[in-house]
Amino acid sequence: MVDEELHDQIERYLLGNMPDEERIRLETGMATDKRLAEQVALQQLALAGIQRLEAREMRKKFEAWDKEVGDITNSGNRVHYSWLRATFVLTGLLVFGIFMHFNQLQKKHREHLRELETIATRDSLIALLQKDFRELSFSLDSLSHLKNSEKDSSLNAKMIQLRNQLEQRDRILRELERQRNTGKPQMAMRLAPPPVRLRGAGENTGTDIAKARKAYNEGKFTQAVRLFQLIPAAAPEQAQVTQLLPYALFYAGMYDEAVPAFIKLWESDPANEAMNAQVFLLLCYLANGDKYEARLMRMIIIQQEDHKYLNIAVAVRDSI
């Protein structure tokens, strides 16, 4: 059973009578607490039901007034009072219609303002959480770059605490950012390592794999993707497809398809391709606006002091 204080708080929220700071706390709680979100939804339905009952009571009152005027016509001039009743009812209906019309306009206006306030509040909250996340991430970066010999138990405990705090903020940010998907494909492409020119493998120039490699070297990445995908799954060239297709997909701007391809590449050749796959996955997530996955991949990269793309992971910190 919901306590009375929470019930009143939710009612103030639904009626738009809640201060901004208190509303932000409640909306943050709704984003992370499923039971609280369900309670707000239930009270919203109940409030809508009460408003419908009030409208029904208004209609009953008009019906009662109409009946009273009808009784008058039985004892006097029927024509006179019939016109009086019709005029009274039409006037009442007109007033009621005008009232309901302006009430609906005001309701839509309030809903629009509330929507704008919600967007502004959400964006402000995201900005605050991102700032907090960046500060925590910077602290974790600094500790992660210390040599193992310089880390004692207290520093290790501090790193664990920072990671826990980052994960907590990640959960909140992930829910809020789910409503505001803002990918940055241009930034991802600008930060990406340039395509490496593929050297010939001695295959027949008429084969699909040779044509795909040629299209890749000429910067025709969409064509290269199509040619790579024509190669049968059982063909011996599939090893080259696994190695080259992810990069062709990325440079073609096909980030959604590139993600599983880079994961497959990482798993198939971790010794040689792990770092490449990690940074390109980070850039795919950045391009798609999947900030939660981007932050996780960035953490994987920055915790490797010798990672060859550490500079890219540092560069995207303020963008995720």
- Convert the pLDDT of each residue in 241-281 to its tens digit: 999 999 999 999 999 899 999 999 999 999 999 999 999 99
- pLDDT reading at 161 higher than 60: yes
More confident residue, 215 or 58: 215
Q: Is the pTM of this model over 0.85?
A: no
**What's the CA gap between 248 and 254, in Å, rounded?**
9
Q: Note the CATH number of domain 185-319.
A: 1.25.40.10
Task: Give start and end residues of each alpha helix (H) in the chain.
Answer: 4-14, 20-32, 34-73, 78-144, 153-177, 185-191, 208-217, 221-230, 238-251, 255-268, 270-288, 291-302, 310-315
pLDDT band for position 64 (50/70/90)?
low
Dist. CA 319–CA 268, nearest whole Å: 30
Per-residue pLDDT at 175: 66
Question: Where in the chain are the domains?
Answer: 1-180, 185-319
Contacts of 42 (CB under 8 A, 6+ apart): none
Mind listing the pLDDT tens digit for each residue in 173-194? 666 665 555 678 889 999 999 9
Output the pLDDT for position 73.
46
